[in-house]
A = this chain, B = another copy of it.
Amino acid sequence: MSEAPHLTFDLDKAGMSNGHLVVPEGADCEALSLPVFSFNKGEGPQLLITGGCHGDELEGPIVARRLVEWLPEAQVCGRIVIAPVLNPPAVKACSRNTPIDGLNLNRVFPGRSDGSVTERIADAVSRTLLPWADTVFDLHSFGLNWDFPPSSTTHPIADPVLMAKTLQMAEAFKLPMTLVWEHPGSQGMFDTLAQNQGKVFVCAEFGGGTVSFDAIAIYEAGLRNALIALGLVEGKPDRPTFRHQKVTQTLETRRSSDELKSPSRGIFEPRCSVMDEVNAGEIIGKLYSMDLSTADAIDIRAPGTCIVYAIRSGAYVDVDEGVALVARPVNPNH
């Protein structure tokens, strides 16, 4: 019989310590050792930071790793546990899903101890890292194929008190966008599991495109702002500059109408930038046949007054492939 998932060190130990979360072996894969860093300064918020759930979103692991450098100096209270790489096989393969079983780690929570490797990772995280945390930051991003602003996101939560607390926490990142994201499939998400246990869970969607030095600096600033808001770190929050602007906006999406899809195959040309406000009927992008003739060009237009918060990189796209995502400012009475 295989061993149970376990940590190789004691999270209750004072000060900085590190080791691994051991995900037991199974029929499909040997045991995995996920790196874990713990910073324990006693009473105060109990924060879990996770990254590398999807292997093609490296902002999270890198920013989490940078945090490990300066946290010992900066932390004033509470406990912060950082697991920068939840899914090493996916990171190695630079793939969203785990290459071994093809599963999306963020759709199989709480996982299964007797399941395939992705389910065993979820089970190990659910059983060892999640229970003691009152707040979770899960570091994601939009990957290379999309332009997307550095953001903190959450989903609509039935409990209004938890919704308000979560939104307030998300806004504390002071990133260019805070997004309340009505998501079609929340089944098996880490968010849902944590929220069902009454925890504050914020997903950082740390942007799209190249993982550059400048991008990483913005993401690190956002995370630092959130730690300051929690009182874990002293300092003054600083709204990072993104493309010449120091702006933050809180937006929300509607499930049914806010993804614009490619009406046919062709070369997609983005015709606006992320965070642009557009009016109903304004052109967001163009789609050309491979022939590039004007006769075939299709305008992709805004469905109403909205803000374009994500736009696909110019590329050949398939029919029904998402090319833009739009949202609107959160209703103040929300």
Residues of B within 8 A of A211 (CB): 270, 313-315
Pick from A84, A273, A314 the residue with the most CB of B within 10 Å.
A314
- Partner of A270 from the list B216, B244, B272 (CB cut-off 8 Å) is B216
Cα A325 to Cα B206 in complex, Å, equals 26
A-B pairs with lowest CB-CB distance, top 6: A211-B314, A209-B210, A144-B144, A210-B313, A58-B314, A211-B313
Contacts of A145 in B (CB 8 A): 144, 210
Residues of B within 8 A of A93 (CB): 316
Which partner residue on chain B sits nearest A59 by CB separation? B314
Q: Is A269's CB within 8 Å of the partner chain B?
A: yes
Cα of A53 to Cα of B62 in the assembled complex, Å: 34
Determine if A291 is an interface residue (Cβ-Cβ < 8 Å).
yes
The CA-CA distance from A138 to B41 in the complex, in Å, is: 59
A199 → chain B closest CB, angstroms: 25
A139-166 contact mask (Cβ, 8 Å, vs B): 1 or 0:
0000011110000000000000000000
CA–CA, A88 to B208, complex, Å?
A: 26
Question: Contact at B288–A65, with CB atoms within 8 Å?
Answer: yes
Tell me how far the C-beta of A289 lies from the nearest C-beta in chain B, rounded to whole angstroms. 9
Given contacts A61-B292, A92-B290, A144-B313, contact A271 B213 (CB under 8 A): yes
Most buried by B among A66, A91, A147, A311: A147
What per-residue 1/0 map shows which CB atoms of A212-227 lie under 8 Å from chain B? 1110100000000000
Residues of B within 8 A of A68 (CB): 292, 294
Q: Which residue of B lies closest to A289 (CB)?
A: B35
Inter-subunit contact B210/A35 (CB<8 Å)? no
- Whether A311 lies near B18 (C-beta < 8 A) is no
Contact residue among B33, B59, B94, B213 (Cβ-Cβ distance under 8 Å from A316): B94
Chain B residues with Cβ under 8 A from A272's Cβ?
A: 213
Interface contact B147-A212, CB-CB below 8 Å: yes
Chain B residues within an 8 Å CB radius of A84: 292
A178 to B122, CA, bound (A): 49
Known interface pairs A147-B210, A316-B55; A85-B269 also in contact (CB < 8 Å):
no
Give Cα A25 to B133, complex, Å: 63
Q: How far is B68's CA from A292's CA once the two chains are assembled, in angstroms?
A: 10
Task: Compute how far the CA of A18 lies from the CA of B295 in the bound complex, rounded to whole angstroms.
Answer: 12
Mask, A267-302, CB within 8 Å of B = 1, is 101111110000000000000101111100000000
Whether B210 pairs with A269 at a CB distance below 8 angstroms is no
Q: How many angstroms between the C-alpha atoms of A271 and B62 in the bound complex?
A: 11
Q: Which residues of B sit under 8 angstroms from A58, Cβ to Cβ?
A: 267, 313-316
In the complex, the answer to whether A293 meets B144 with C-beta atoms within 8 Å is: no
Task: Give bound CA distance, A147 to B214, whole Å.
Answer: 11
Q: Is the CB of A144 within 8 A of B210?
A: yes
A146 neighbours in B (Cβ, 8 Å): 210
Given contacts A58-B267, A311-B212, contact A35 B65 (CB under 8 A): no
The answer to whether A94 and B59 touch across the interface, beta carbons within 8 angstroms, is: no
Given contacts A35-B292, A273-B212, contact A91 B267 (CB under 8 A): yes
A209 CB to closest chain B CB (Å) equals 4
